[in-house]
C-alpha cells in the first residue's frame, strides 16, 4: 500500500542569492501543513545540494546546513503522514540524477492510481526506496523518451490521476505544476533580489510570501505547467478536468487563516462559516467561545451574526510539544488540560455556545464539552463550522478511515450524546457554499458528501464511491 494519507507544503525559489534561506523561512511559515519531515534542495551552477531530515523545520536545519545549501535556486518540502511510513526515504524533496542531469521534486497531494503504476514499474525492474506516490512520478519521468523536463513531466502526468501541486527543479529550470482538478493550492509570488532583478517564488500558501516579503501574484492554475529558466517565465495549460475540485477543507481547517487560498481569504471564509452556522441554527445563549485556535474565526462570525458576546472561555498553552513526557498514572488524569484550560470566570453559570471548525472522531469535542462543564457552565451547545465529516480524504488531507468518522456511523443525536453536549449542530453543505459564495462544482467536498471527483484506482481506495463528474 502506498503512503496515501499525507499532508504537505511545497516551496520554490528562483534567482535569489539567499534561495535556500528563503525556502527555509517559507517552510517555517507552512509548518502547520506537515511536521514529520522537512527538506530543501538548492542549486548552484547546475549542481544540486540536498539536506532533509525527520522533524520540524527548525530542528532539521541548523546554520551549517543552510550554509551548505548554496546557490540562487531552491525547492523545499514539509511532510506529515499517518501511515506509519515516517521514513527518511519518504522525506522530500526527492532527488535523483537522470540522463540529462539532476532532478529534485516536491509534491503536495496524493495520486490515487499509483498501485498499478508502481507494480508495472517494478515488473520492469524499477527499484523503490520509499513508499510515496511521488517516487512513482520520478520513475515515470526518468523513463520518458525525452530529456526535455517539461515534455517529460507532461508525458508522465498524463498517466497519473489525483492531487498534485508540484515543484520541480533541474539543472536549469524551476517548474511549478497544479493538477487539472486543482485540488491543492499553489501560488506564485515575486521579490526583488539584491541586484534589483525579479526573483520568483512558488508556495503552497501565501503566508510563506508574507514572511519573506514576497508579493503574491496569482495562483498556478489548475492544469497549468509554469516554468522559469534563463529566458524568463513560460506557461502552458497541459490538461483540463471535467470540473474543478479545489479542496474545501483547506478553507475549513487545513490552511492558515492568514493565507489567501484559491483566491480567497481563509480567515474570511471561516468567519462566514460561523455567520451561516448561526443563521441556520439560532440558539439562545450567554456567551460564544471558540475551541482555540481552529474555531476562533468561526466563533467570531457566529458572535457577530447572533449578537451573543464572544469570549475566550478556553485558553490554549502554545508550548505543548510532541515530546511531552506523560506523568505517572496517578496524576495523568489532567489529560487535555495540558493544552486547553477552561476559564470559570467566563463559563460559570453560563449557557455556552462552543464553536469548532470540524468534528472528525468526536473525541476532542467530548473532552472539550466535559472541560466546559467542569468549569461550571450551565448548558453547552456544540456548533461545528462545517458539515458532518463522512468521507476519508484520498487527495492529501489526513482524515481517518470511514469506520472512525463518527458522523459516517452515528446519527446527529447519537453524536450529541457521545460528546455529552446539550445540543449539537453542524453547518449545512448548502450553507458552506453560500458562505464561500461559490458553486459546489468549484470544490471537492468529498469529506462532507462522499462524492470523489476522480476514479480511485488504488486497491486500498477502490471501495470508495466515485462521483460522476
Positions that interact with ligand AMP (CB under 6 A) = 253, 291, 294, 356-365, 397-399
Shortest distance, position 140 Cβ to ligand AMP, whole Å: 28
Shortest distance, position 384 Cβ to ligand AMP, whole Å: 9
Q: Coil, strand or helix: which one is 459? A: helix
Shortest distance, position 50 Cβ to ligand AMP, whole Å: 28
Catalytic hit among 8, 136, 393, 444? 8
Q: Which is nearer to ligand AMP, 312 or 469 (CB)?
A: 312
**What CA–CA distance (Å, rounded) separates 421 from 415?**
9
- Which residues partner with 356 through β-bridges? 384
Shortest distance, position 393 Cβ to ligand AMP, whole Å: 8
**What CA–CA distance (Å, rounded) separates 181 from 163?**
7
- Greatest alpha-carbon pair distance for the chain in Å reads 72
Q: Which is nearer to ligand AMP, 149 or 405 (CB)?
A: 405
408, 414, 416, 420: CA torsion to nearest 10: -120
Q: Give the number of other CB atoms < 10 A from CB of residue 423.
A: 16
Shortest distance, position 160 Cβ to ligand AMP, whole Å: 23
Shortest distance, position 165 Cβ to ligand AMP, whole Å: 17
Q: Hey, what's the cell of 195?
A: 541586484
**What CA–CA distance (Å, rounded) separates 345 from 62?**
43
Angle at 180 between CA 178 and CA 185, to 5 degrees: 40
247 flagged as catalytic:
no
Q: Phi/psi class of residue 109: alpha, beta or left (left: φ > 0; alpha: ψ in -120 to 50)?
A: left
Q: Which is nearer to ligand AMP, 120 or 316 (CB)?
A: 316
Q: Which is nearer to ligand AMP, 138 or 289 (CB)?
A: 289
Residue among 345, 374, 368 nearest 290 (CA):
368
Shortest distance, position 24 Cβ to ligand AMP, whole Å: 24
Q: Which is nearer to ligand AMP, 150 or 368 (CB)?
A: 368
**What CA–CA distance (Å, rounded) separates 442 from 445?**
10
Residue among 96, 153, 150 nearest 127 (CA):
96
CA 409 to chain CA mean position, Å = 25
Q: Which is nearer to ligand AMP, 24 or 253 (CB)?
A: 253
Residue with cell 513560460: 234
Q: Which is nearer to ligand AMP, 133 or 356 (CB)?
A: 356
Classify burial at 35, counting beta carbons within 10 Å of its beta carbon; exposed 0-12, middle 13-18, buried 19 or more. Answer: middle
Annotated catalytic residues are 8
Amino acid at each position: 500500500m502506498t503512503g496515501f494519507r499525507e499532508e504537505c507544503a511545497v516551496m520554490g525559489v528562483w534567482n535569489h542569492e539567499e534561495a535556500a534561506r528563503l525556502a527555509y523561512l517559507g517552510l517555517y511559515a507552512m509548518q502547520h501543513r506537515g511536521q514529520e519531515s522537512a527538506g530543501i534542495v538548492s542549486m548552484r551552477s547546475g549542481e544540486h545540494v540536498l539536506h532533509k531530515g525527520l522533524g520540524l523545520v527548525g530542528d532539521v536545519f541548523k546554520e551549517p546546513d543552510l550554509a551548505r545549501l548554496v546557490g540562487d535556486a531552491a525547492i523545499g518540502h514539509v511532510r506529515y503522514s499517518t501511515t506509519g511510513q515516517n521514513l527518511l526515504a519518504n522525506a522530500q524533496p526527492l532527488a535523483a540524477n537522470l540522463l540529462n542531469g539532476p532532478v529534485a521534486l516536491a509534491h503536495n497531494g496524493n495520486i490515487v492510481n499509483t498501485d498499478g503504476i508502481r507494480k508495472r514499474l517494478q515488473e520492469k525492474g524499477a527499484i523503490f526506496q520509499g513508499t510515496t506516490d511521488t517516487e512513482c512520478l520520478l520513475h515515470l519521468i526518468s523513463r520518458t523518451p525525452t530529456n526535455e523536463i517539461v515534455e517529460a513531466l507532461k508525458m508522465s502526468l498524463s498517466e497519473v490521476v489525483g492531487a498534485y501541486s508540484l515543484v520541480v527543479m533541474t539543472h536549469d529550470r524551476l517548474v511549478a505544476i497544479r493538477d487539472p482538478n486543482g485540488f491543492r493550492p499553489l501560488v506564485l509570488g515575486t521579490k526583488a533580489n539584491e541586484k534589483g532583478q525579479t526573483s520568483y517564488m512558488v508556495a503552497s500558501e501565501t503566508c510563506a510570501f508574507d514572511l519573506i516579503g514576497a508579493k503574491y501574484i496569482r495562483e498556478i492554475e489548475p492544469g497549468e505547467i509554469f516554468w522559469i529558466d534563463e529566458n524568463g517565465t513560460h506557461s502552458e495549460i497541459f490538461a483540463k478536468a471535467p470540473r474543478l475540485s479545489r479542496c474545501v477543507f483547506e478553507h475549513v481547517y487545513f490552511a492558515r487563516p492568514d493565507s489567501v487560498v484559491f483566491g480567497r481569504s481563509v480567515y474570511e471564509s471561516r468567519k462566514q462559516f460561523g455567520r451561516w452556522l448561526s443563521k441556520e441554527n439560532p440558539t439562545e445563549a450567554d456567551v460564544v467561545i471558540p475551541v482555540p485556535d481552529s474555531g476562533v474565526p468561526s466563533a467570531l462570525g457566529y458572535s457577530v451574526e447572533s449578537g451573543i458576546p464572544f469570549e475566550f472561555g478556553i485558553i490554549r498553552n502554545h508550548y505543548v510539544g510532541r515530546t511531552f513526557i506523560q506523568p505517572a498514572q496517578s496524576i495523568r488524569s489532567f489529560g487535555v488540560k495540558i493544552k486547553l484550560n477552561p476559564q470559570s470566570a467566563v463559563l460559570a453559570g453560563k449557557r455556552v455556545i462552543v464553536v469548532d471548525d470540524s468534528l472528525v472522531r468526536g473525541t476532542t469535542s467530548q473532552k472539550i464539552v466535559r472541560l466546559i462543564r467542569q468549569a461550571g457552565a450551565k448548558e453547552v451547545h456544540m456548533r461545528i463550522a462545517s458539515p458532518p465529516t463522512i468521507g476519508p480524504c484520498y487527495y492529501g488531507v489526513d482524515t481517518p478511515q470511514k469506520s472512525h468518522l463518527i458522523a459516517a456511523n452515528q446519527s446527529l443525536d447519537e453524536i450529541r450524546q457521545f460528546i455529552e453536549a446539550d445540543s449539537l449542530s453542524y453547518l449545512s453543505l448548502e450553507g458552506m457554499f453560500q458562505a464561500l459564495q461559490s458553486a459546489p462544482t468549484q470544490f471537492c467536498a468529498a469529506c462532507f458528501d462522499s462524492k470523489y471527483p476522480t476514479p480511485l484506482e488504488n486497491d486500498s481506495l477502490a471501495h470508495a464511491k466515485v462521483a460522476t463528474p
